[in-house]
Structure formats: structure tokens, C-alpha cells
Amino acid sequence: MRLLHNASPPPLLTSFSPRKKTLILTKKSSFNSHHKPLQQVLSTGVSLVLSLGLLVSAPNSIALESPSSLQSSSSSLEVTCREVYKKDTEVISKVVSNERIVEEAWQIVNDSFLNTSPRSWSPEYWLQKKEDILSSSIQTRSKAHDIIKRMLASLGDPYTRFLSPEQFSKMAIYDMTGIGVNLRDVPDGNGGSKLKVLGLLLDGPAHNAGVRQGDELISVNGVDVLGKSAFEASSLLLGPNGTSVNIMVKHGNCGPVQSIDVERQSIAKTPVFYRLEQVESGSTSVGYVRLKEFNALARKDLVTAIKRLEGMGASSFVLDLRDNLGGLVQAGIEIAKLFLNEGDTVTYTVGRDPQYTRNIVAEAPPLITAPVIVLVNKSTASASEIVATALHDNCRAVLVGDKTYGKGLIQSVFELPDGSGVVVTIGKYVTPNHMDINGNGVEPDFRKFPAWSEVSNRLSKCHKQPEG
């Protein structure tokens, strides 16, 4: 991902989350103290799920149903919907103040930030920071943005930073659906989950077709998405540019169900380059795949490349991740799964709250079982390191080249009310072999390209560490 204007590798992005006007209606009784972090997520519209895909959300893009059109089988829920509607319309009608923008940036850090620097951080310190900043009025928007920049810089985290509205809008290249929405699994109140639109690209295909934040996705081209993950549903939405996809959405928890045709308009470019090479005097056909970044097209185009190379006779593969600074964490995770056996660990993610520590595993057999060499160097970072260590630690590949960068932190990007945003470190990942690579990097198995017989011998002697 090449959106930064400094020398540091870009963040490992997991979710783009709107802070404002995400209409999620639930009965209060559906939450208890055990689910407090989840309650905070739902009540503010902030996604803290560490492994899901990018969410691009648009400023001022909510269109709420009028109270007379709301339908509900529960009178108490209908009252809740009406109350939220009234509250949101009152907020929408007001000009967003500079103080509110600063306060929302402060709140995002307060709710989500994971401190990994030597500098101490505490909620008490952060509360005092807020009181100092908001003790006087903020006269201009540029002043508000400058305050946010200084406030984030005080955290001592090089990856937590401010995005101007122009920088935030560029994140559209990481739209994983092709129609400008991001989906998130949320509890349905009955022990299951449903898919909600928690981010919407302003003037994107879905927004222009009538989809709104808070809508529930019911089906894609007639396929019921109940029980499907956000990534699975996003994959159903993908398709060639200019083609249409039919979706059924329910407008909020109280609104009607509507069938909408949306024309796909993905702006992401393929990050995959591939070719077939003959090595070792022509005795071995090797499929070479170069992956430049992890964007919305990475997994789909990599699958296409691998299948074509197999059809051309490739019996071994080289995955080139050199100078790949990362991008979408979910794309990296899903790409790693293509090479792993069912049940293999891709990575462990660790958040500020222990509830968000989880083991991410492959759920299906691998796409290929051929031996793999992963090329790495000092600019292999973030999502690239997830893929490299997942394949290495599960005895599916050897690493060749130079030591990797060593960025094991996870960032999320949150939108502010004026269309600007903040990138905040919310977690870190640990390799399947329980190595914290942040600041350390990963050493390769070979500095120079080995013979394929040596690769096969190394992989045959490899033993995975036990889970846990």
C-alpha cells in the first residue's frame, strides 16, 4: 500500500470504520457485561475486529427512513428506532464543529489504541489531554486538523496518524467488493450473526444505487448470505468492471427490504505478475508470481495466476514478496490460506482487550501442494510478513533473500465527521511459531536461491510447532 508520504512502511490495514451516524439498532437486553467490548463496537460503529477487510466510509452519506415507514414486530424496538432516527436527524442538521472533530479523534484513540512504544500511556493521561485541548474554542478546520496531528504524535507511535480528506478518499483502491461498501458481521440477538453495511464510499456505486450505512445484506444475485462471513459475501459481490450485481438489503433493523442493482466500478489495479520459467537445465517448470501489494484484487488474481501456471506445467512455485510493503490484512490472510492445510494457523492476532486475541486458521484444503519459495527482503513488511511466516512456519515454503522489515502491528483507519480520518494501531500479530516480529523481522532460510532438491529436502524435514 503506497499511500504514505514517508519512509516508513504503511500500516497493516484491517478495517476502515466510520465514527458517525452508523445506525445499528439493538435491544439493550441483548448485551451484558461479558460483551462490553462488543457493545462499544456496535454503539459507536467502530470496528475492532483485527482480521477483517478494509472499510471505506463516506461523510454525510446516511439517508434515514422517515418514522412512518419504519416497520417492526416489536413495539419496544420501534420506539428505539424512532428515537435514534430523531437523534440522528438532529445531528445531521447541524454543522459539524471543529471541537467535535477533535473530540471524535480523541475518542477513537481512547477506545481502540494499543500502545506498543516505550512511552507510557494510560486512560488517565489521555483524559487530561482531552481536557487541555478542549479548554478553549477551535476557530478553524485547519487548526482542528493540526491539533489532531499533534495529539496523535504525542502517543509516540509512528503508525498512528492523521489523514486529510484527500488522503482518506484514496483508500477506495482497497474496496474489497467493487461496489464501494464494506460488510461486517454483527450479532443478530439470537446467537447468530448478520451482515451489515458499516462503511459506504461516497458517490460510489452502492451509495448512488441507494444502499445506506446500517443496511443489512440479505442476498447477492439470489444467493442467501445468512451464515456467510463478510469476506465470503464480499467475494460474491466482486465481478468484472461494468457488470451488475443484484443485492437484497434491509434498510436498518426497522426498514423495508429492497432489491437493488449495482454496477461494479472497481478502481484497484491488479498487483499480480506471473510467468513460467524452466530451471535446472529445463528439468523443472517453475511458476513465478510477483505480488506487488495486497489490495482488493490480490487474492482473486493470484488464484487465476496459479491455476494458469499449473495448466502450463508448473511443478514448483516462487512467490515474490520483495518490496511488498503490505496493504489489506484480510487479503494477506486469505492468500496464505491458499497454500495451507485445513486447520493450519495463519497468524495469531492480539488486541488491547484479551477478547480480541484469536487464532486465525485455514478452513479448507490448499489450492496447491507443490513446494514454494518465498522471496523476501528488507522491504517485505506487514501483510507480506503474515504470508511469509504462515507458509514458513507451516512447512509449506522456504524463505529466500534478506531479513524482512519487522512490522507486526495492525492498524485500523477511522473516518471523522468532515471526511478526514485517523489511522490507529489497534493490535499486533504473532506468527504461527509464536514469534513477535515487530521490530525484529524474519530471517530467511537461504540468502541465495537454492536448488529445488534442497528446498524439497528442507520442507520434508520441517516440523510444525504444536498449537497453543
Active site (catalytic) residues: 382, 407
Q: CB under 8 Å to 174, separation ≥6 — which residues? A: 1, 13, 16, 54, 56, 268, 295, 296, 327, 328
| Beta bridge partners of residue 350, listed in sequence order | 428
On the CB side of 392, CA atoms within 13 Å amount to: 23
User: What is the distance between the terminal CA atoms of the chain, rounded to a whole angstrom?
Assistant: 32
Q: CB under 8 Å to 384, separation ≥6 — which residues? A: 291, 294, 321, 324, 325, 326, 332, 376, 404
Separation in Å, CA 230 to CA 11, 46, 124, 235, 251? 21, 16, 36, 9, 18
Q: Is 174 helix (H, G, I), strand (E, B) or coil?
A: helix
Q: Decide if 182 contacts 197 (C-beta within 8 A).
A: yes
Q: Decide if 320 contacts 372 (C-beta within 8 A).
A: no
Distance CA 14, CA 32 (A): 27
Helix-strand-coil split of the chain, %, nearest 5? 30, 25, 45
Q: How many residues are listed for the chain in this entry?
A: 468
On the CB side of 82, CA atoms within 13 Å amount to: 12
Q: Decide if 237 contacts 245 (C-beta within 8 A).
A: yes
